[in-house]
Amino acid sequence: MKTSNLITAHDLEVKFDSQIIFQNVDFQVQKGDFFCIVGPNGSGKTTLLRVILKEIVPTLGTIQCALAKSQIGYVPQFRNLETDFPLDAAAFIELKLTQKWWPWLTAQEHDQVQAALRATHLDNKRTTRVGQMSGGEKQRVYLAQAIVNQPQLLILDEPTASLDVQAKYEVMDVVQELNTQGTTVIFISHDPQLIKKYGTKTLQLGKGE
């Protein structure tokens, strides 16, 4: 039978020095999943993302990922940008386009930036400086930057942690739309309401388990 697994992990363990962060972790992420990773502070959620991104080699177990790094978009926890941050939304998104020696964008790259702005409901903020945006808009610009290269997998590490309720759902609705259109999502969160509303599968990490 043909499998649509993007990630297959078996019996993973990560240890730092003698401290076991987690062990016996098995999971599969399939194309189209909205895959949630939950667990208390320090249970290894971010460490597991770093294993998926091949930044950390597990001390035991195997992990297979069918995607190249270029096919994965990543949104870390919210990082604020000061009000004097000089780039507008379009320029900020362009930073993630493949670096090359010529300093202009191709027509296709312009289309990619426009598509990322549209997908994150920021069409009318194209020339707004990111530093002057609200927290929710800033996080949607980060999201736009992560999807500008049209990744197959989007990884989000507590993307709504410091946002108010309305901004939180605006960000999550955008992520859900991307998921409905075919982008697989891995989502770390402490928020059970978000997991219940948006998740299709959940991996629970416990201390050392």
Ligand X SMILES: Nc1ncnc2c1ncn2[C@@H]1O[C@H](COP(=O)(O)OP(=O)(O)OP(=O)(O)O)[C@@H](O)[C@H]1O
Identify which of residues 35 and 92 has a Cβ nearer to ligand X in the complex: 35
Q: How far is the CB of 38 from ligand X (least distance, A)?
A: 9
104-133: b or e for each residue (b if 16 or more CB lie within 10 Å)? eeeeebeebbeebbebbbbeebeeebbbeb
Say how far residue 197 (Cα) sits from the centre of its chain. Answer: 17
Are 153 and 69 in contact by the 8 Å Cβ rule? The answer is: no
Identify which of residues 47 and 128 has a Cβ nearer to ligand X in the complex: 47
Are 160 and 171 in contact by the 8 Å Cβ rule? The answer is: yes
Identify which of residues 172 and 205 has a Cβ nearer to ligand X in the complex: 205
Q: How far is the CB of 6 from ligand X (least distance, A)?
A: 21
Identify which of residues 109 and 191 has a Cβ nearer to ligand X in the complex: 191
Residues at the contact surface with ligand X, assessed by CB under 6 A: 16, 21, 39, 41-47
Shortest CA distance to 88 belongs to which of 141, 139, 134, 136? 141
Q: How far is the CB of 46 from ligand X (least distance, A)?
A: 3
Q: How far is the CB of 144 from ligand X (least distance, A)?
A: 24
Identify which of residues 148 and 171 has a Cβ nearer to ligand X in the complex: 171
74: which residues sit within 8 A by CB, 6+ positions away? 53, 146, 154, 155, 156, 157
25: β partners: 12
The one-letter code for the residue type at 51 is: V
Q: How far is the CB of 44 from ligand X (least distance, A)?
A: 4
